Amino acid sequence: MEYSLTLQSDCNLVLKNGSTRVWETMTGGYSAECYVTLDLNGKLAVWHPRFRYPLWSSGIMSQVGYYALVLRYDGTLRIYGPQLWSAGSSSAQLTAGIVGWTWTKTTESVLYSGDVAPIGTTIVNGNNELTLLDDCNLVLNGDGATKWQTGVTDRTMHDCYVNLEANGELRVKHWGGDVLWTNRVASPTYSSLFSCCKPTPCSLSMAL
C-alpha cells in the first residue's frame, strides 16, 4: 500500500491509497491559489485567498505549541503535539521547545503510540541510529559517538521491547510486563489531536 496526501489544483485535499481515494476535504472547484496551514493550536485548514475563513478545517484546537501533521504507515492522517520529552545528549530531559535534533523523514523515523519495537529494532535518520540492544539498553548513536542512552541493561533475559504509550510515556519493558526504564513523562492532553482517513470520514481520536 502506498499512501499519499495531495492538495490538488482545484483546492481539494485528498488522501489516496495508490489510485484509490480514501478521504478528502470536499473543497474542490476553486483555483490553484489554495494552501494548507497547521496552526500553533493544532488546527489544520485549507484556505483560499479570496475568503476570510477557511474552506475546510479540522475544527479542533488545543494548547499553543508545536504540532506535526503525520501520514502514518497504515494510512491514518493525524496531528500530533505538543512535544513532551526529547533526548539528544548525555541525559534525558524534559523540554519546553523544539527538539535539539529532528527526524526529517517522519514516516520512516517515528515510533508511534501503541507500537511495540523488539530487540534489534533500529530507527535511522541520516547518521543517527536509535537501537534497542540485546542487553535491553536503548542507545542513540550518531557520527561515530553515543549521543544518549538509557543506561539500563539486563544481560540475563534478553526479552525486552520498547513501546510508546498513548499518554506519551516511552518505556523499555520485559515481555513479562516489568518496566526497566521510562522517560517518566505522561501527558494530561491528547496524544493525537485529529485523526482521519481510515476509511472515512474524519474522527477525533482522544487518547488520555
- CB contact set of 143 (below 8 Å; sequence gap of 6+): 127
* Chain centre to alpha carbon of residue 117: 15
- pLDDT reported for residue 192: 56
Closest CA to 171 of 186, 185, 182: 182
Q: Is the pLDDT at 197 greater than 70, yes or no?
A: no
Q: How much is the pLDDT for 16?
A: 92
Residue 112 has pLDDT above 50, yes or no: yes
Average pLDDT estimate for 114-126: 79
Residue 48 has pLDDT above 90, yes or no: yes
Cα separation values, 158 from 25, 61, 133, 161, 179, Å = 47, 43, 9, 9, 14
- Hey, which of 107-116, 142-151, 196-205 has the most confident mean pLDDT? 142-151
Q: What is the pTM of this model?
A: 0.56
Predicted confidence band of residue 138 (pLDDT cuts 50, 70, 90): very high
Among candidate residues 12, 166, 20, 15, the one with its CA nearest the CA of residue 77: 15
pLDDT digits (tens, 9 = 90+) for 66-84: 788 888 777 888 887 766 6
- Cα-Cα-Cα-Cα dihedral sign, residues 206, 77, 25, 39: positive
Confidence of residue 11 (pLDDT cuts 50, 70, 90): very high
Confidence of residue 198 (pLDDT cuts 50, 70, 90): very low
Residue 21 has pLDDT above 60, yes or no: yes
